[in-house]
Amino acid sequence: MYGLESFLSAIAGFVASPAILDVFWATLLGIVVGMLPGLTATLGVALMTTLTFQMETDRAILILICMYVGAIYGGSRSAILLNIPGTPANAATSLDGYPLARAGRAGSAMAIATTGSFIGSLIGMAALAVVAPALAEFALSFGAYEFFWLSVFGVLIAGQLTALDDPIKGWIAGLLGLFVAMIGQEGIHAVPRFAYGSTDLRGGIQLLPAMVGAFGFAEVLTVMRHRAYRVVRGSTDSVWAGIRQAARYRITAIRSGLIGTFMGLAPGVGEDMGAWASYAAARQASKNKEEFGKGSVEGLVAAETGNNAAVPGALIPVLTLAVPGSAPAAVLLAAMIIHGIRPGPLIMIEFPDFVYSVVAMVFLATCAMAILGLLLTRPLLLVLRVTRERLMPIIFVLCTVGAFAITSRVFDVWVMVAFGVLGFILREMKYPMAPLILGIVLGDLMDKNLRRGLVLSDGDLSPFFNRPISIALWGSALLFVLVSMPATRRWLGRLVGGGRRRQPSSGQPGGTP
Amino acid sequence: MTRPMDKADFVFSLVLTAFGLGVVVESLRLPRLAEQNINPYTVPGLLPGILGALMALCGIALLVRSALRGGWRLGAAEAQETQAEAPADEPAPVPDRHVALRLGVTVALTLGYAVGLFGHVPFGLATVAFIFLFTTATEWIELGRRPPLRALASAAVIALFVGFGVQLLFERVFYVRLPG
């Protein structure tokens, strides 16, 4: 009841204040950022953090959440019209959205994507309201050992799920991120590590310039490396027909919303996997599997519901464990810390109303997204006429100024450039960026809790392994590593295959061979 | 035939292994603070050392895998990357001959702006020059000839608007003093 009251009072507060204008312009800007190939939700939220850090906390976080929700949704436009996902989260959208657009049903496809995104966001929002307080209470029982394993688990699972074909590359990216977090004065004895006499390096590598580089400058280089995009031209049908078509797949939408929320909850995994997992599940359960990839409405609903549900899902671990569920959520975590909020298990004790304020922010952003998405279908197409040759230098200027603005250090601009070049090279070699960023976020947590745990146990490693929550965390981490190994998969395959071969005879007593 | 990715993995694995071992050595060289009687389990080099060792292990695993796939033959002919099939009614993609030039110009101009101009030349001026040069150069490459005067004029207007607009926004609205 307290939660509902807080939620309604937050909504009333935002609606009755000029903040409601922020909701619309920030969501619209997010949609535009998401639409433009090369501009990701992470970059949008990171750049907007640099522009809002002097605002009041609630207003700044509201703008960032609107940008996040808008960008993940906006990416569906370019996926549908260009066959280029505006953000990586919309890759699954292009599989069915683009064939629909080519068939002259671009308007329907955009409406289907809007409806799916709306439903997904609402399901994720409900989960955020229900799960976050409970998870925060549960997390109060976490000690140094559990937080150590939580950070290990986060980097491992993010590495594995963002590089499904080659998990070792995901883990290497995570290790590099953790190492970056080790640079600078450590948090227990203030000893500078890997600083080599540099005052700037003593202060450590800040998350925001690194993220702006890895997701902004690296993206500029990637976009300029690849072929220019062309918009699908031709007839477009009515958007309203799309809403009716999407409404037919209620079960798919609810299933995808739950899957997306769950994938958002997993550390560092985020919207991309939310969309892919929902799409795979929808295909598995569909009566019309053969239509998937050829313009299936059901597939489009699943992909868009899944990725938008992951947005509020990714905020759950941010608020309750200070562990981001996705790359944009990592920026939001940093922004909350900049604004004096301390996400983590104590959030329901220190800032109980803030959690419900965030739920209200997601709700308002979702409503704005649906209204703008449906009403501005045609005007928004003009955005795609901006050529990369004109857009990319502006983005790079914003990356440079954004990296500089937070602490006014030219060093941060160099960090942005270094991470941009490193990020570009790693991306070209198929290393995912999300584990790298998660590593930077979780490095300090891992370092402090490993050493605290060892002090508490006087060097005894057993508490790391025999406490119930620790067992669940390290057991899951070990399972993930083992399952990803080709040898283990071959062995499991043989086991399952052998079982299947034996099944007929064991199922038929006295059966003939 | 060797895939280009195997060669890249082979080279990167060598770099990663060397880097991981370097991190281990540097972690061992970090102060142990024994003279301050601190708890030996809180030495600053503990986690960095573990991370260095893990990076070296991953590097070795990648090295073995890429070597087994022939990635060590750096000069060998490359297998063609499988290209996604275009729909039948779409024209076949034209090979992009300008990738290296476009990327080279992008890297040179962005690095020149961020490292060379930013902080040394007044922000507005540096930004106007950067945006105009970037737009003109990349459009020139894309078109294969000098862009028309109208395109140059619009690039100049955009450069002026963004250069001085961003400066005004940050200095007057966000109170961030830009360098130069």
Nearest chain B Cα to A52, which residue?
B174
**CB–CB contact B47 A51 (8 Å):** no
pLDDT higher than threshold 50 for residue B22 = yes
Q: Is the pLDDT of residue A244 over 70?
A: yes
Q: Which two tokens stand for residue B135?
A: 């737009």
The verdict on a CB contact (< 8 Å) between A220 and B61 is: no
Please state the rounded mean pLDDT for residues A179-198. 93
Whether the CB of A165 is below 8 Å from some CB of chain B: the reply is no
CA atoms of A510 and A183, how far apart (whole Å)? 69
pLDDT for position B3: 75
- The answer to whether A291 faces chain B, any CB pair under 8 Å, is no
Mutate to test the interface with A, among B110, B117, B120 (most CBs of A within 10 A): B110
| Axis-axis angle for helices A388-405, A41-52 (nearest 10) | 50
> Which residues of chain A are within 8 Å of residue B46 when distances are taken between CB atoms?
447, 450-451, 454
Judge whether residue A502 has pLDDT over 60: no
Nearest to A393 among B38, B54, B131 (CB): B131
Mean pLDDT value across chain A: 88
Cβ contact (<8 Å) for A400 and B45? no
CB-CB under 8 Å, A455 with B114: no
* From B58, B99, B102, residue closest to A175, measured CB to CB: B58
Contacts of B49 in chain A (CB under 8 A): none
Residue A274 CA from chain centroid, whole number: 9
Give me the DSSP letters along chain B: -B-HHHHHHHHHHHHHHHHHHHHHHHHHHS---GGGT--GGG-TTHHHHHHHHHHHHHHHHHHHHHHHTTTT-TTSPBPPPPPPPPPTTSPPPPP-TTHHHHHHHHHHHHHIIIIIIBTTB-HHHHHHHHHHHHHHHHHHHHHTSPPPHHHHHHHHHHHHHHHHHHHHIIIIIS--PPP-
What kind and span of H or E run contains A184? strand A184-185
pLDDT band at B175 (very low <50, low <70, confident <90, very high): confident
Of the partner residues B8, B118, B142, the one whose CB lies closest to the CB of residue A413:
B118
Of A138-152, A217-231, A365-379, B15-29, which range is least confident? A217-231
Residues 50-79 of chain A with CB under 8 A from chain B are 51, 54
Please provide the average confidence, as pLDDT, over all residues in chain B. Answer: 86
Q: A505 lies in a domain?
A: no
Q: Taking a contact as any Cβ pair under 8 Å apart, which residues of chain A between 403 and 442 contact chain B?
A: 404-405, 408, 410, 413-414, 416-417, 420-421, 428-430
Q: A269-273, A303-307, A452-456: lowest mean pLDDT where?
A: A269-273
Cross-strand partners of B2: B78
Residue A192: pLDDT band with limits 50, 70, 90: very high
Taking a contact as any Cβ pair under 8 Å apart, which residues of chain A between 300 and 339 contact chain B? none
User: How far from chain centre, in Å, is Cα A281?
Assistant: 19
Residues of B in Cβ contact (< 8 Å) with A413: 114-115, 118-119
Question: What pLDDT digit, counting tens, does each position of A398-449 carry?
Answer: 899 988 987 888 999 999 999 999 999 999 999 998 889 889 989 999 999 9
The predicted structure's pLDDT at residue B35: 82
* pLDDT attached to residue A131: 93
pLDDT tens-place string over residues A134-185: 999 999 999 999 999 999 988 888 888 788 778 899 999 999 999 999 999 9
Candidate from A11-15, A23-27, B84-88, B169-173 with smallest mean pLDDT: B84-88
> Residue B83 has what pLDDT?
44
Q: What is the pLDDT of residue B174?
A: 76
Q: Which residue has the tokens 């490459």?
A: B141
* A511 is a domain residue: no
**Contact between A397 and B176 using a beta-carbon 8 Å cutoff:** no
Alpha helices in A163-198 (DSSP H): 167-182
Taking the CA of residue B76 and the nearest CA in chain A, the distance in Å comes to 19
Which chain B positions have a beta carbon within 8 Å of A189's beta carbon?
33, 36, 38, 42, 44
Domain that holds residue A464: 2-493
Looking at residues A502-511, what average pLDDT do you find?
A: 40
Residue A510: the pLDDT is 35
Q: How far, in Å, CA of A35 to CA of A84, rounded?
A: 10
Over residues B82-94, mean pLDDT: 46
pTM of the model: 0.85
List of chain A residues whose C-beta atoms are within 8 Å of the C-beta of residue B176: 401, 404-405, 408
What is the pLDDT at residue A356? 93
Q: Measured between beta carbons, which residues in chain B are less than 8 angstroms from residue A102? A: 87
Contact predicate A327/A434, CB 8 Å: yes
DSSP-derived secondary structure letter, A216:
I
Write the ipTM.
Answer: 0.88
Q: Which B residues in the span 64-123 are in contact with A, Cβ-Cβ below 8 Å? A: 65, 87, 93, 96, 99, 102-103, 106-107, 109-111, 113-115, 118-119
Question: If you measure CA to CA, which chain A residue comes closest to B140?
Answer: A389
- Which chain B residues are Cβ-neighbours of A170 within 8 angstroms? none
Tell whether the model's pLDDT for residue A359 goes beyond 90: yes
Domain ranges of chain B: 4-68, 99-173
Share of chain B above pLDDT 70, in %: 86
Number of A to B CB contacts under 8 A, please give it: 155
Digit-coded pLDDT (tens) for A37-94:
778 898 899 889 888 888 899 999 999 999 999 999 998 988 888 877 878 888 899 8
DSSP A58-112: HHHHHHHHHHHHHHHHHHHHHHHHHSS-SSGGGHHHHHHHHHHHHTT-HHHHHHH
Phi/psi of residue B118, nearest 5 degrees: -65, 120
* Confidence tier at B4 by pLDDT (50, 70, 90): confident
Which residue among A176, A220, A397 sits closest to B162, beta carbon to beta carbon? A397
A116 sits in which H/E element:
helix A106-139
Q: Note whether residue A32 is domain-resident.
A: yes
Q: Does the residue A498 lie in any domain?
A: no
Determine the straight-line distance between the first and last CA of chain A, rounded to whole angstroms.
65
* pLDDT, tens only, A264-296: 998 877 888 899 999 999 999 998 888 898 889
pLDDT band, very low/low/confident/very high, at A238 (cuts 50, 70, 90) = confident
Residue A322 is given by DSSP the state S
A193: chain B residues, CB-CB within 8 Å: 30, 44-45, 48
* A33 located within any domain: yes
Q: What is the reported pLDDT for B73?
A: 80
What confidence score (pLDDT) does residue B46 get? 94
Q: What confidence category does residue A380 fall into, taking pLDDT thresholds of 50, 70 and 90?
A: confident
Chain B residues with CB-CB distance to A232 below 8 A: none
Residue with tokens 């502006």: A394
CA distances from A207 to A202, A331, B142 (A): 15, 8, 35
Q: Which of A179, A227, A390 is closest, CB to CB, to B48?
A: A179
Q: What tokens appear for B141 in the block?
A: 């490459």
CA distance B51 to chain A (A): 7
CB distance A66 to A41 below 8 Å: no
Res B92 pLDDT > 50: no
Question: Residue B156 CB: number of other CB atoms within 10 A?
Answer: 15
Q: What is the DSSP string of A428-457?
A: HTT--SHHHHHHHHHHHHHHHHHHHHHHHT
Nearest to A273 by CA among A317, A326, A319, A324: A326
Cβ partners under 8 Å of residue B159, min gap 6 = B127, B128, B129, B130, B131, B132, B135
Query: Band of the pLDDT at B28, cuts 50, 70, 90?
Result: very high
> Angle at CA A434, nearest 5°, toward A282 and B80?
75
